[in-house]
Structure 1
Amino acid sequence: MFRNSRGIELKTDDQLCLMRKAGLVVADLLDTITAEARPGVTLRELDRIGRETLARHGAESNFLEYGADARGEGGFKGVVCLSVNEVIVHGRPTDDILQDGDTLSVDGGAILAGWHGDSARTVQVGTPVAERQTLSDVTEGAMWAGIAAAHLNGRIGDVSAAVEAYIENAGPYGIVREYVGHGIGTAMHQPPDVPNYGRAGRGPRISRGMAFCVEPMVTVGSPENAVLEDDWTVVTLDGSSAAHWEHTVTCTPKGLWVLTAADGGEEMLGRLGVPFGPLAD
């Protein structure tokens, strides 16, 4: 492993395979939590399930106490972010109870053998509300459009432009600009930033050994937002619903490998006509 001139961490094939193991833990983490996301369950209960899942895999949380200062204060107090309805990202595990018709974003990660995985998905609680389900579908589609635009020797701007174009073509949705995707590897957040808007052909070149997260955050209404007094929870100013999807991705000589998808992204990439390029699985 080394860093290029932009400070981007480039992994060996063996190191990417270790990241895949962390990614599979994250996939199970999100599967397990979303399966229990039903009316009457508290956010704190879902976080407890997440802690048990990480422990079962012998993995650490990369969310718990993230952002703590030198005195150990101010860090995030959960292993997953649980964001409901108008909460865009960084919702904290609380005693709030899920209600029928809520939309829930689960953003989680894991550290295994020193390597990080990070992923998010949005699900409907109980009876789906059509507007919120469509929003989630658009956000997921935008994520996959961005992933499909990535290839060796391309640019991060290709990913950003594809995400933006997909959302704009889907309707009058809001694209949250303050929070973006990111590089990942020996730390959860690394260069390069991966915005959800931009121009193709711009930004850092996508090189062999890079791993990065594509994660659009989309709103039904205005994307304008604010952070609540807890210094974590990000909400839409107009109270409109938000959705968030994310995967950790790398480009190999054979194609794309989605490290946090249970199947490595094979099914969706096949639908999109994009080469699937696992190094091992």
Structure 2
Amino acid sequence: MMIHKTDAEIAMMKESATLVSKTLSEVAKVLKPGMTTLQIDRLCADFIRDHKAVSNFLNYRGYPFTVCASVNDVVVHGFPNNTELKEGDIVSIDTGVILNGWHGDHAYTFVLGEVADDVLQLVKVTKESLYKGIEKAIVNNRVGDIAYAIQEHTEKKYGYGVVRELVGHGIGRSMHEDPQVPNYGKRGSGPKLKENLVLAIEPMINLGTREVFTEEDGWTIRTRDGKPSVHFEHDVCIKKNQALVLSDYSIIEAAEKANPNLNTNYY
């Protein structure tokens, strides 16, 4: 069942989503080669707690961390660890909060220093595809319109692998609500979008094959061919003429641009 929120509830969801954005901006301020993803996890845990919220990732179905830290060929759900990050890594940080009973959940991919041109293009195109999907997140469109827009921009234009096994989702008082939001599909298919439905739209796009596998930890998902994967995610409210984006990349981007260790040449 799809749950449509009131305007007052949307305002509270915006607070939750913005706190996630602020958390990711803290990562953007300090991320550099030599850091570990476990340090990032601790930073985010402290920041969320200091802002009177709780992590909705920690202990979710047994997940043991506050963030998913997915490096290079890890698509999603990477466990934070003590391996030092290095120049040329791409790092996707996915995290979420519960604030005043409402969930926020989104992700951002960072580039550490210089990377190959094809990897930088993958980051650029994946981020673009997120906004292509958001353009279709309006009243009377369907989930398939969002899915098609993402697939068309990534797979059909650039030949990238669009992951099938993992999808976006509704969000509200639960982190995962109906409907599922794939990153591939047919225009005009799927559930119809009505006002004040909130979706987490999250393209997960691979440089090579779309095929993935899950490691023995039961969580970490990698590309089958070992090539990089990129993940971006926004919390989005369905409106009549233009979607309302509840999360705020601008504060992440400002911190990212100010950090000389991060590559923003794809902007």
* TM-score, length-scaled by structure 1: 0.86
Q: State the partner residue of 2:192.
A: 205
Q: Which amino acid aligns with 1:176?
A: V
Deviation digits for residues 242-280 of structure 1 (CA, Å, limit 9, x no counterpart): 00011010023463211112569xxxxxxxxxxxxxxxx
Q: State the partner residue of 2:210.
A: 223
Q: State the partner residue of 1:163.
A: 150
Q: Does 1:173 align with 2:168?
A: no
Q: Which amino acid aligns with 2:9?
A: Q
Q: Does 1:233 align with 2:220?
A: yes
Q: Does 1:101 align with 2:88?
A: yes
Q: Which has the higher helix share?
A: 2
Percent identity, aligned pairs only? 39
Q: State the partner residue of 2:36.
A: 42
Q: Does 1:141 align with 2:135?
A: no
Q: Which amino acid aligns with 1:180?
A: V
Deviation at 1:36, TM superposition (A): 2.0
Q: Which amino acid aligns with 2:38?
A: R
* TM-score, length-scaled by structure 2: 0.91
- The number of residues matched between the two structures is 251
Could you tell me how far apart the structure 1 residues matched to 2:223 and 2:250 are? 33
1:13-162 correspondence to structure 2 within 5 Å = 13-67=7-61, 75-162=62-149
Q: Does 1:9 align with 2:3?
A: yes
1:257-268 correspondence to structure 2 within 5 Å = 257-261=244-248
Q: Secondary structure at the match of 1:252?
A: coil
Q: State the partner residue of 2:242.
A: 255
CA RMSD of aligned residues (A): 1.4
Could you tell me how far apart the structure 1 residues matched to 2:242 and 2:131 are? 14
Could you tell me how far apart the structure 1 residues matched to 2:55 and 2:212 are? 27
Deviation at 1:169, TM superposition (A): 4.2
Cα 1:65–1:228 change in 2 (3 A) is: same
Could you tell me how far apart the structure 2 residues matched to 1:242 and 1:263 are? 23
Alpha carbons 1:24, 1:262 under 8 Å: kept: no
Alpha carbons 1:77, 1:93 under 8 Å: kept: no
Q: State the partner residue of 1:270.
A: none
Could you tell me how far apart the structure 1 residues matched to 2:31 and 2:120 are? 15
Q: State the partner residue of 1:70.
A: none
Q: Secondary structure at the match of 1:170?
A: helix
Q: State the partner residue of 2:233.
A: 246
Choose the corresponding residue for 1:186, options 173, 177, 193.
173
Q: Which amino acid aligns with 1:242?
A: S
Q: Secondary structure at the match of 2:8?
A: helix
Cα 1:114–1:104 change in 2 (3 A) is: same
Q: Secondary structure at the match of 1:213?
A: strand
Cα 1:153–1:58 change in 2 (3 A) is: same
Q: Secondary structure at the match of 1:235?
A: strand
Deviation at 1:210, TM superposition (A): 0.5
Q: Secondary structure at the match of 1:204?
A: coil
Alpha carbons 2:90, 2:110 under 8 Å: kept: yes
Cα 1:52–1:129 change in 2 (3 A) is: farther
Deviation digits for residues 220-240 of structure 1 (CA, Å, limit 9, x no counterpart): 111111100111100011110
Alpha carbons 2:137, 2:239 under 8 Å: kept: no
Q: Secondary structure at the match of 1:106?
A: strand
Cα 1:262–1:134 change in 2 (3 A) is: closer
Q: Which runs of 5+ in 2 are unaligned?
A: 252-267
